[in-house]
Amino acid sequence: MKLFQTLINRRRFLQSSAAVGAAGAVTTGFTGLTGLTQAPPARAQPTRGETTITKNVCAQCPARCGIDVYTTDGRVHAIYGTSDNPISNGKLCPKGHLGSYFLYDPDRFKGPMKRTNPNKGRDEDPGFVPISWEEALDTVAERLNDLRRREESHRFAMFYGRGWGASDAGIQYPFGELYGTPNAAIGHSSMCADGSKKAKQATDGNNSYSSYDYRNVNYLLIMGASFLEAFRPYNNVMQMWGHMRTKSPKTRVTTVDVRMSPTMAASDHALYIKPGTDGAFALAVAHVILTEGLWNREFAGDFTNPRLRFLAGQRISPVTFEEKWVHGLADWWNEELKDRTPEWAEAITGIEAEQIRRTAVEFGSTRPAVALFERGATGHSNGTYNGMAIHSLNALVGSLFAEGGIGYQVGPSYGKLPVEVADYQDDYARNGAWKEQPRLDMKGTDRWPMVGNMMQECARNHLDADPYTLDTAMFYYTNPIWSAPTPQVWEEALKDVFVIDTSPFPGETAMYADIVLPDCTYLERTQDVPTYPFEGWPMAELRTPAVEPIHDTRMYGDVVIELGKRIEGPMGDYYRELGNLENYIRHLAAGFADDPGDNGVDGFESWKEKGVWYKKPYQWRQIRGDFYEWDGERYSRQMSAEEVKQHLFKTPSGKFEVRSGYLEQHADYIERELGIPRARAGLVQWVEPVYTGGDGDLHFVTPKTPLHAEGRGANIPQQMMVHQPIVGGRNTVYLEVHPQTARERGIRNGDRVRIISDVGSIEAECRFVASHRPDTLVLPFEFGHWAQGRWAKGRGPGNSSEITANVSDPISGLASYYTGKVRLERA
Amino acid sequence: MSTSMKGMQPTTHGNALQGPLGWGLLVIAGVVLLASLGYALSQLMTSGHTAFNTSSVLPWGLPIATYVYFALASSGLGLVASLPLVFGFKAYYPLAKRCIFLAFALLISGMGVLALELGHPFRMLWVIPANLQVQSAMFWMGVFYSLDLLFLLWKFGKLQGGHWDSKTARQVGIASFIGVLLASGNLALIFGMMSMRPFWFDALMPVYFYATGITSGVAVLILLTYLAYGFRRERMPAALQRLMSGALPRLFAALVGATLLFIVVRAITGLYSNNPEVNLVWSEYLLESGLYLTSLVVGLLLPFVLLLGGLRNRPGIQVLTAVLVSLAMFAERLYFVVGGQVVPLFKGSWVPDLIAYTPSATEWALTLVGVSLCLVLFLLGEKFLNLGDMPPQMTQAPAGDPAAGDPAVEASRA
Amino acid sequence: MAKWGMVIDLDKCTGCQACTTACSMENNTLPGETWQDVLYYTAGENPSGQMKWLPRPCMQCENPSCVHVCPTRATYKDEEAGGIVFVDWNKCIGCKYCMIACPYGVRFYADEKPLIEPDIRDVFPGENGQLWSPPYQNPEEDWRRGIGIQPPGVVSKCTFCYHKVRHAPEGVADLDEDNPEVKEYVPACVRTCAPKARYFGDLDNPDSQVNRLIGDKHGVRLKDHTGNRPQVYYLGAGAGVPAFTPADRENDA
């Protein structure tokens, strides 16, 4: 062999310079059997044009990774993370690279269209015919003007999903105020993750997702958050994961979830919990932290007498405990926590008491420690209370606003717009009949007093004409007719509504559209993108088009401005003054002149060049139970209790509240909806979940995979081919089922099965995952489209939303996507 | 009947294929060839190899198995032809010419199928000689099968010219024999040297290929010889009759037995091994396959039993066993080629089970191309080249001489 | 000349497959033509089940069995290019023997049935001799090294993104994507890896980070018993690849 290889190497050396190739004509049109046609010429690097890199922001999840878009000869051909972007740091998640598919998706809408078939339904061809932008905009504007003349402008609603910033979703609010509708910005947050925001609002007063200091955390307790699959900002979370797992000391991770997942697999401990019972687990952890004396005394407070302690089952005298930043701790112990032993929790959660105790001791004795959660814990009827219980662990160990702890996001220093809404409102806008109308989703009414949005209610409300029916609805970046719980109701509801869809892609909602005003894809847009909660310090990014729109599409912000210009009265002047989207964004960027970013960004041009404006560090920090403000060099200026209340703990008490003043304000409602006695409404407590779906014997969860691009990835072949690696799901998504559960029902690995709830039934192929809980079925959420493009359409399994009841947490309004119970049978 | 032919040139007018039957069969085979080739080519031209059911996880399928079948049958016949031409087993003279021509026809057919399986068959013609990759068994396979083809033609030319025993004929025969051994041996090593494919990895794979190659070759030979004489042994020349009722069926029985033995030994080794890449091939693929088991039992075991006793001299039994063994050996080649690949290599959950493979219509069409091309060539050969020729002295030998063809007796006579 | 090697730290890898999609877009592979793949393995049962994963590029073996079997020298190990194993698409005859001979299953014959329907090759039909021609294709092309979109009828594989790596400055020890000087020369899978589970550098340079990692964290090569001696090393738990068990059997009680 040696001799052979020497021979080979010699020969190869002799040959390496002389590329062998047969000159000849290019192959014919036949795709195959080139050997039978003429050989193609030898090919080496051809000449090519110059490559330009434009700064953009990925749009496949909310994380807002800054991206470098590589364009050569007018074609986008690569996307990488931007190196000097604080979120992406040159990296991307698996979705990010696939962005060029969105741009060149062959099924994209090529321009504005109107419907010719008045009938709407799954099997109805809309009969779209192309129209000009002028005609499209005029048609919509005429309809809106007509509604306004009839004083029915409230029957116009604008629904949005993935809003990016001031220049798209943000632009809708003034539209409503000027035009006269309470429904100008019905967001999808109640179908997203409002539970965690509400849990935080109820405890620390911040109606927001948290920012995290992963760089310095030493213990992570992850509950129902799909940390390594979908937790925002996913890309950065993974960067931090690499850091946490190799730094000294290595960050220990315990994950509590209802299913096997990459996060569970990669953690130090994986604990499988019964769906909807995360609160019980967290309460037991809190119980142990207190009984073992592991709480952070500097932050939470301490007994006045050092010999006193928390003993299971025994009350303490409130006067003997001096609370510091945790309001209501003594009450919490006496009224709730003292009986929440690990043994109690084991019976509810299915996690052994010993595991709970171990987790509590680790969590309580490793600083800094952070407990984080998402809708695995909050997507249930008791979601807000579950979230509060988990978040309270952060208070017990003092990780709020601490180094290695959690905080909240600060907004960017945007400039003012050249126009004020108040200056352009006519009498109707100020005092018209629309002012008497509630929002269509009944947000802020007695029905949903605490919610942020309630989009999932709109279809039902319209059908019931309660509070009224819709006339015209415009959709931006949302597709509720497919993604809402029980979307069958939307299919019915939107039949007699004039629908305007702005998606670039032929989604289900677009199939109901009367007018399509297609947006540009993100690689063709100018758009401001303030960060999602990240590390707390302010940050705003900017999309710059890599290419001119490749089809006759317009950015949504410009569409709203153009519609505004066409509305009668002073409103039109507002939008004429605003001009266009770029002008709008330039005014935002003007704010940076007075507050230049760390990277020198001080206006529109530099923002465009860098793609991001940001200012580090986070303004505040809690150190050993005291709060300090950044003075430019260190955290040295101690804050008063009032300042803490103003900036950090925005609760009635100005502290972290384990007896929530916010919830106590709604005690009657809570008593009515959840059966919790008024007096206990504010306590962080265990509330039994109410599962939906009927008498099914199995829990049903529909997690996101790392490749799930918020429903926009279902028409991307590259994505489908690697979608569900856990069970080899390519081309489709398999139902993941415990083998014992399957065999009891006569189901073999790979069989076709039917999943049934009282709302409907869907079919799927199953594959066995013995690591899952036997009582829990797992169907990653992705397919089941009846539109959305040639690859998505008709691809199984069925749409899990169709067997998900439209039931929501009464407090947060979060749709209970993960609380369904189902039956399983062979199909 | 044989007496009536005495003294005549051995033009074998007992040959049924030189008459209208030959024409008829030729037309049928030709039509099948044109149809299957036309279909395969049209599929390949329009869809390329997407017309195959092979894939990146199982790259070699039915066309490769077809090639292996034809190449080994050809080699087997090449070796059988060496019995009289190299080793002096003169009893086999009556089949020598047919053997050689058939070996040629089979090899051409196999190579044709292989060419259609490749991504760039014409490129192969210059790129292999231009690069001389001596490390590749496939390179040597190409070299030796080309030589084999050359020697077969040369040898056939010698016989056609009536040179049965000339010095050059003998030398060409020896060269051809060595060429056949090297060619089929290298074909065996293409599989046998693949340590990353334990189902194939076997230093003695050439022996297995020689033995089974001869088995499949003889099966085809018996079948086509009977076809040549309209399935009537009495139409055969006397020497051939002797062979067909003496040495050849005995040899055939021994070969089928040996083939069975090889397979059983391989199966036992495979089933005993803990290595899933061998064990699962046997336990979950081959022995789970009804078709494979049928091919073993009906295609090899049953013929072996039939050939063991006195039944083996009956023409009907010989034709039946030849058909069965031919089909079984084809199945064996397919399962052998596919079996080495069914255990997914390093695919994790993406390929959770053994790789499923069923040949596509295009792949079957290629097999049909091979079969019909071989038949067309054979029929043309029978028609125009007197494949029944044998040395003149053989034609005069008395029908009942038991010693004829026995090398020991021949030697003592000499 | 450097000997390019890759190190993959399985303790940091999150199994997200960004390497896979970055590769597929950089090299315009067909859906399922995963030059770079992540393999998942599961074992055990609730509540103590395990799942592990393993990113898998081409191992660019020091002693590549695929090269030995190629009858045309179309596939070759290019010592001048840091020991990367290439396929010369001008020479490949599509016999697929290399695919048989590769113990790691990293070679692809994309001229196969579409792995997902509709066939994207029909949506973006091949032009100029290419198997398919998507509008977003990388302008880089070098058929002698299997870079770009392949013609029909040839075998394709990971090139360690040689069209990038070839521009690396002479003598550089590591191609670290966090170094702005060299980030454009880093293979796509390494460059994008968010948890920084991948490293790329010169195995011939004892001071390179890849060698330090291999030394410190006991780097291993997959299927080392094959003797192919990969230039890709794995660190951490999880590099043990379980023997194949059919899924049905795996979960037998």
Residue A618, C-beta contacts closer than 8 angstroms, at least 6 positions apart? A211, A407, A410, A535, A536, A537, A630
Whether A8 shows a pLDDT value over 90: the answer reads no
Minimal Cβ distance to B349: which of A15, A36, A725: A725
Write out pLDDT tens, residues A354-411: 999 999 999 999 999 999 999 999 999 999 999 999 999 999 999 999 999 999 999 9
Whether A589 shows a pLDDT value over 80: the answer reads yes
Give the pLDDT confidence score for residue C239 in this predicted structure: 83
The answer to whether the beta carbons of residues A345 and A280 sit under 8 Å apart is yes
Whether B405 shows a pLDDT value over 90: the answer reads no
What are the chain A neighbours of C50 within 8 Å (beta carbons)? Answer: 265, 771
The answer to whether the beta carbons of residues A817 and A687 sit under 8 Å apart is no
Using alpha carbons, select from B228, B16, B224, B193 the residue that is nearest to residue B109.
B224
Q: Kindly state the DSSP code that residue B130 receives in the 8-state scheme.
A: H
Average pLDDT over residues A9-18: 40
Domain count, chain A: 4
Interface contact flag, B50 C112, Cβ < 8 Å = yes
Residue A472, C-beta contacts closer than 8 angstroms, at least 6 positions apart? A140, A143, A144, A147, A155, A156, A157, A497, A498, A499, A500
| Axis-axis angle for helices A172-179, A556-565 (nearest 10) | 20
Give the pLDDT confidence score for residue A516 in this predicted structure: 98
Average pLDDT over residues C3-8: 98
Looking at residue A350, which CATH number applies to its domain? Answer: 3.40.228.10
The answer to whether the beta carbons of residues B55 and B356 sit under 8 Å apart is no
- Domain contains A711: yes
- Residue C250: band (very low, low, confident or very high) from pLDDT cuts 50, 70, 90: low
CA B224 – CA B360 distance, rounded (Å): 28
Q: Give the Cα-Cα-Cα angle B113, B116, B122 (nearest 5 degrees).
A: 120
- Domain contains A660: no
pLDDT > 90: what percent of chain C?
93
The amino acid that residue B20 corresponds to is P
Whether C32 shows a pLDDT value over 80: the answer reads yes
Give the pLDDT confidence score for residue A1 in this predicted structure: 40
For an interface test with C, which of B135, B196, B283 has the most C Cβ atoms less than 10 Å from its Cβ? Answer: B196
A252 in helix, strand or coil?
strand
Write out pLDDT tens, residues A643-673: 999 999 999 999 999 999 999 999 999 999 9
CA B91 – CA B70 distance, rounded (Å): 25
- Domain contains A52: yes
- Do residues A363 and A482 both lie within one domain? no
Which chains have at least 3 CB atom pairs separated by less than 8 Å from chain A? B, C
CA C227 – CA A418 distance, rounded (Å): 71
- Do residues A126 and A95 both lie within one domain? no
Which run of H or E residues covers position A825?
strand A820-826
Using the Cβ of C61 and the Cβ atoms of chain B, whether some distance falls under 8 Å is answered with no
What are the chain B neighbours of C37 within 8 Å (beta carbons)? Answer: 350
Tell me which of A408, A438, A458 is where a domain ends: A408
The answer to whether the beta carbons of residues A798 and A781 sit under 8 Å apart is no
- Integer Rg of chain A from CA: 28
- Residue B12: band (very low, low, confident or very high) from pLDDT cuts 50, 70, 90: very low
Average pLDDT over residues C168-181: 96
Looking at residue A474, which CATH number applies to its domain? Answer: 3.40.50.740
Closest CA–CA distance from residue A9 to any residue of chain B (Å): 11
Number of Cβ within 10 Å of residue B199's Cβ equals 26
Give the pLDDT confidence score for residue C243 in this predicted structure: 87
- Do residues A450 and A591 both lie within one domain? no
- Residue A2: band (very low, low, confident or very high) from pLDDT cuts 50, 70, 90: very low
Give the pLDDT confidence score for residue C241 in this predicted structure: 85
- Do residues A269 and A393 both lie within one domain? yes
CA A718 – CA C31 distance, rounded (Å): 5
pLDDT > 70: what percent of chain A?
94
Minimal Cβ distance to A4: which of B49, B119, B135: B135
Q: For all residues of chain B together, what is the average pLDDT?
A: 91
- Do residues A473 and A599 both lie within one domain? no
The amino acid that residue C27 corresponds to is N
- Do residues A356 and A445 both lie within one domain? no
Q: Using CA coordinates, name the residue in chain A closest to C193.
A: A91
- Domain contains A708: yes
Q: For all residues of chain A together, what is the average pLDDT?
A: 93
Interface contact flag, B348 A728, Cβ < 8 Å = yes
- Residue A226: band (very low, low, confident or very high) from pLDDT cuts 50, 70, 90: very high
Q: What is the DSSP string of A376-398?
A: HHHSSTTHHHHHHHHHHHHHHTT
The answer to whether the beta carbons of residues B373 and B112 sit under 8 Å apart is yes
Minimal Cβ distance to C41: which of B128, B345, B349: B349
- Tell me the domains of chain C and their CATH numbers: 4-242 (3.30.70.20)
The amino acid that residue C175 corresponds to is L
- Residue B165: band (very low, low, confident or very high) from pLDDT cuts 50, 70, 90: confident
A759 in helix, strand or coil?
coil
Whether C228 shows a pLDDT value over 80: the answer reads yes
Number of Cβ within 10 Å of residue B86's Cβ equals 18
- Do residues A286 and A221 both lie within one domain? yes
Whether A7 shows a pLDDT value over 70: the answer reads no
Q: Kindly state the DSSP code that residue C226 receives in the 8-state scheme.
A: G
- Residue B393: band (very low, low, confident or very high) from pLDDT cuts 50, 70, 90: confident
Using alpha carbons, select from A705, A727, A702, A701 the residue that is nearest to residue A716.
A705
Minimal Cβ distance to C111: which of B50, B195, B345: B50
Q: Give the Cα-Cα-Cα angle A578, A584, A587 (nearest 5 degrees).
A: 110
Minimal Cβ distance to B124: which of C37, C93, C105: C93
Write out pLDDT tens, residues B31-88: 999 999 999 999 999 999 999 999 999 999 999 999 999 999 999 999 999 999 899 8
- Do residues A255 and A111 both lie within one domain? no
Interface contact flag, A16 C80, Cβ < 8 Å = yes
Interface contact flag, C112 B120, Cβ < 8 Å = no
Tell me which of A408, A443, A474 is where a domain ends: A408
Write out pLDDT tens, residues B277-325: 999 999 999 999 999 999 999 999 999 999 998 899 999 999 999 999 9
- Tell me the domains of chain B and their CATH numbers: 16-344+354-395 (1.20.1630.10)
- Do residues A525 and A566 both lie within one domain? no
Give the pLDDT confidence score for residue B316 in this predicted structure: 95
Number of Cβ within 10 Å of residue A416's Cβ equals 10
CA C6 – CA C214 distance, rounded (Å): 10
Helix ranges, A221-374 (H) = 234-244, 262-266, 278-291, 297-300, 329-335, 342-349, 353-365
Whether B209 shows a pLDDT value over 80: the answer reads yes
Average pLDDT over residues A716-745: 96
Whether A476 shows a pLDDT value over 80: the answer reads yes
Closest CA–CA distance from residue A289 to any residue of chain C (Å): 24
- Domain contains A652: no
The amino acid that residue C177 corresponds to is E
- Do residues A128 and A214 both lie within one domain? no
Write out pLDDT tens, residues A296-350: 999 999 999 999 999 999 999 999 999 999 999 999 999 999 999 999 999 999 9
Interface contact flag, A36 B122, Cβ < 8 Å = yes
Residue A40, C-beta contacts closer than 8 angstroms, at least 6 positions apart? A24, A26, A27, A34, C129, C151
Which residue range forms the structural domain that includes residue A157?
107-192+429-519+554-578
- Residue C234: band (very low, low, confident or very high) from pLDDT cuts 50, 70, 90: very high
Give the pLDDT confidence score for residue B16 in this predicted structure: 87
Burial of A1 (0-12, 13-18, 19+ CB in 10 A): exposed
Mark which residues 783-822 of A lie under 8 Å from C by CB: 790-791
Helix ranges, A164-251 (H) = 172-179, 194-204, 234-244
The answer to whether the beta carbons of residues A545 and A523 sit under 8 Å apart is yes
- Do residues A170 and A117 both lie within one domain? yes
pTM, whole model, 2 decimals?
A: 0.93
- Domain contains A365: yes
Ramachandran class of C161: left when φ > 0, alpha when ψ lies in -120 to 50, beta otherwise: left
Helix ranges, A232-312 (H) = 234-244, 262-266, 278-291, 297-300
Whether C248 shows a pLDDT value over 90: the answer reads no
Q: How many residues make up chain A in this entry?
A: 827
- Cis-peptide, bond into residue B94, ω within 30° of zero: no
Burial of A114 (0-12, 13-18, 19+ CB in 10 A): middle
Q: What is the DSSP string of A421-470?
A: GGGG--HHHHHSGGGGPPPTT-BTSSSBTT-S--GGGHHHHHHHTSS---
Give the pLDDT confidence score for residue C238 in this predicted structure: 81
- Do residues A178 and A215 both lie within one domain? no
- Domain contains A112: yes
- Domain contains A184: yes
Give the pLDDT confidence score for residue A272 in this predicted structure: 98
Q: Give the Cα-Cα-Cα angle B119, B123, B129 (nearest 5 degrees).
A: 125
What are the chain A neighbours of C17 within 8 Å (beta carbons)? Answer: 94, 706-707, 722, 725
Q: How many residues make up chain B in this entry?
A: 414
- Residue B13: band (very low, low, confident or very high) from pLDDT cuts 50, 70, 90: low
